């Protein structure tokens, strides 16, 4: 897996999208998905995220629908082939959690997606 970096600007306008909070063995990470990406691939996301959980590096993934500046500033194209993320501090993760609602959680014993919640 590749670790990527993207910067957030406090002056950027918030745009709606999806942020995945990734709990790794070495800390927390964030990755961003656009709404069109999630709408197109939401049925496959559970099995995609699930495939990374047994790897040992990723313990749990939370998917949040948010209006947050990091959505606008992350322009990297996402695919279902890999997960790229940037390391994040607790403050950054908490701001993502406050900016929206949890749409899905993937981890041992907890794997679900709710399309109605996401407005799909």
Average pLDDT score over residue span 85-110: 86
The answer to whether 38 and 113 have CB atoms below 8 angstroms apart is: no
The answer to whether 71 and 15 have CB atoms below 8 angstroms apart is: yes
Whether residue 28 has pLDDT greater than 60: yes
Quote the pLDDT of residue 4.
46
Average pLDDT score over residue span 20-27: 90
Nearest-angstrom CA–CA distance, 114 and 56:
26
Full-model pTM: 0.78
Average pLDDT score over residue span 78-103: 87
Quote the pLDDT of residue 84.
81
């Amino acid at each position: 897996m590749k670790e990527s970096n993207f910067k957030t600007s406090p002056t950027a306008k918030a745009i709606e999208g999806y942020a995945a909070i990734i709990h790794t063995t070495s800390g927390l990470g964030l990755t961003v998905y656009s709404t069109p990406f999630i709408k197109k691939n939401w049925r496959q996301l559970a099995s995609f995220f699930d495939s990374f959980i047994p790897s040992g590096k990723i313990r749990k993934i939370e998917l949040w629908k948010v209006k947050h500046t990091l959505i606008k500033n992350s322009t990297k194209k996402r695919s279902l082939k890999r997960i790229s993320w940037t390391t994040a501090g607790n403050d950054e993760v908490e701001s993502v959690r406050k900016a929206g609602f949890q749409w899905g959680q993937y981890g041992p014993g907890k794997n679900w997606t709710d399309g109605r919640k996401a407005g799909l």
